[in-house]
Amino acid sequence: MVTILAGGVSYSEALPDGSNLVVRAGVRKFPWPHLKYKCGMGKCGTCASRVLAGAEHLPEPNWKEREKLGARLAEGWRLMCQLWPTHDLTITQE
């Protein structure tokens, strides 16, 4: 189950294991239209999201996340285009 908080509203949906949220949003599946993104390649930072729950199941940040997010990593921010979650996840971009 992925939950995204956007505009003060919580949206949730069960997703296939290993889905990439930016790829899904790109083909107009949940979490579209709630997830902001652009490049899908870890370059623009638009998909940056703060993980509110489930961070313990995510892999270590890759070099693109470390480069783009810097100190925000320690505050729970991740790049959704660089992740393929396999467990429940709650995120926000607010």
Binding residues for ligand FES, per CB under 6 A?
22, 37-40, 42-47, 79, 81
Q: Look-up: residue for tokens 């902001």?
A: 36
CA atoms within 13 A on the CB side of 49: 27
35: its two tokens: 């997830």
Instruction: Decide whether 8 or 29 has the Cβ nearer to ligand FES.
Output: 29
Q: Which of 36, 30, 28 is nearest to 80 (CA)?
A: 36
Instruction: Decide whether 65 or 90 has the Cβ nearer to ligand FES.
Output: 65
Nearest distance from residue 6's CB to ligand FES, in Å? 16
Instruction: Decide whether 15 or 21 has the Cβ nearer to ligand FES.
Output: 21
Nearest distance from residue 80's CB to ligand FES, in Å? 6
Nearest distance from residue 82's CB to ligand FES, in Å? 7
| Residue ranges in the chain assigned as alpha helix (H) | 21-26, 63-69
